[in-house]
Chains A and B, each alone.
Chain A
Amino acid sequence: EDQVTQSPEALRLQEGESSSLNCSYTVSGLRGLFWYRQDPGKGPEFLFTLYSAGEEKEKERLKATLTKKESFLHITAPKPEDSATYLCAVGGGRRALTFGSGTRLQVQP
C-alpha cells in the first residue's frame, strides 16, 4: 500500500527565514511525486511533478527535490503570501494519488 508522511505538521517562519518541508514515501511503481499548495476553502493548486530520483524543479521561491525515499520542498526567503498548507502526493500502481496530511506553513511579516 502506498504511504506518504509529511513533516513537520505545522511550521511558523519569519519573513525571509528559509526552511524545508519533508515528504517521505513508499510506493510500488512511482508514476510521479506531486506537490500542491492549498489555501483555506480552496482546492489544491498544482506546484510540481517529479518523476525520478535526482530530479529538481524550481518556481519562484520554491524548489522541490526527489530521492528514492523522500522529497523536500525548499522555501527560500518566504513571504507572508506563501502561507498555506503544502501537500505532497504520490502516484503509484493503483492509478490514484495518495496524499500526505500536509504541512501548514505560516509566514509572519
Chain B
Amino acid sequence: KAGVTQTPRYLIKTRGQQVTLSCSPISGHRSVSWYQQTPGQGLQFLFEYFSETQRNKGNFPGRFSGRQFSNSRSEMNVSTLELGDSALYLCASSLANLGDGYTFGSGTRLTVV
C-alpha cells in the first residue's frame, strides 16, 4: 500500500518569499500532522489536522499555517520566510488518534537563502 507522499522533495526559496508544501496521507488515515526537523532543535510539532479541522497546534509563529482537504490531503504554508526556517518538514499520518501510531513521509527539505 502507498505510504505518505510529500512534495516537493527539495525546495530553495529566498528570504521574504512564501512556500507551500503538500502531503498525501495513507489511504484511510484521517489525521495528518506536520513536524519541523533541524539539527539544533530536533523534531518539533507544528500542527495536526483531523477531518479538515486543526485539532492541535505547536509553538510556532503565525507565519506557519496549514489546512486539510476533504480527501485528507494536507498543505502547510510558511509566509515571509526567514533563514531559520531552513529545515526538513515532515508530514505524518495516522488512522485517527495518537495511540494509533504515525507513519512519516520522506519530508521536504526547505533551504532559505
Question: Which residues of A are at the interface with B, using a C-beta cutoff of 8 A?
Answer: 31-32, 34, 36, 41-46, 49, 51, 87, 89, 91, 94-102
Instruction: Please state if B90 and A91 are interface contacts (CB–CB under 8 Å).
Output: no
Which B residues touch A97, using CB under 8 A? Answer: 33, 35, 43, 45, 98, 102
- Chain B residue at smallest Cβ distance from A49: B101
Known A94-B56, A96-B98; judge A43-B90 contact (CB<8 A): yes
Docked Cα-Cα span, A98 to B98, in Å, equals: 11
Interface flag for B84 (CB, 8 Å): no
Number of A-B contacts (CB under 8 A): 61
Q: Which residues of A contact B92 (CB under 8 A)?
A: 43
Q: Which B residues lie at the A interface, using CB under 8 A?
A: 4, 6, 33, 35, 42-45, 48, 55-56, 58, 90, 92, 97-99, 101-107, 109
Q: Smallest Cβ distance from B90 to chain A, in angstroms?
A: 5
Q: Please classify the interface of chain B as helix (H, G, I), strand (E, B), loop, or mixed, using the class held by over half of its residues.
A: strand
Bound form: Cα–Cα A85–B43 in Å:
13
B42 touches which one: A32, A91, A100 (CB < 8 A)? A100
- A sample of 29 inter-chain contacts (CB < 8 A) reads A32-B98, A34-B101, A36-B104, A41-B106, A43-B4, A43-B92, A43-B105, A44-B43, A44-B104, A45-B104, A46-B102, A46-B103, A49-B101, A51-B99, A87-B43, A91-B98, A91-B99, A94-B56, A95-B56, A96-B33, A96-B45, A96-B56, A96-B58, A96-B98, A97-B98, A99-B35, A99-B43, A99-B44, A101-B42
The complex places the Cα of A32 from the Cα of B98 at a distance, in Å, of: 8
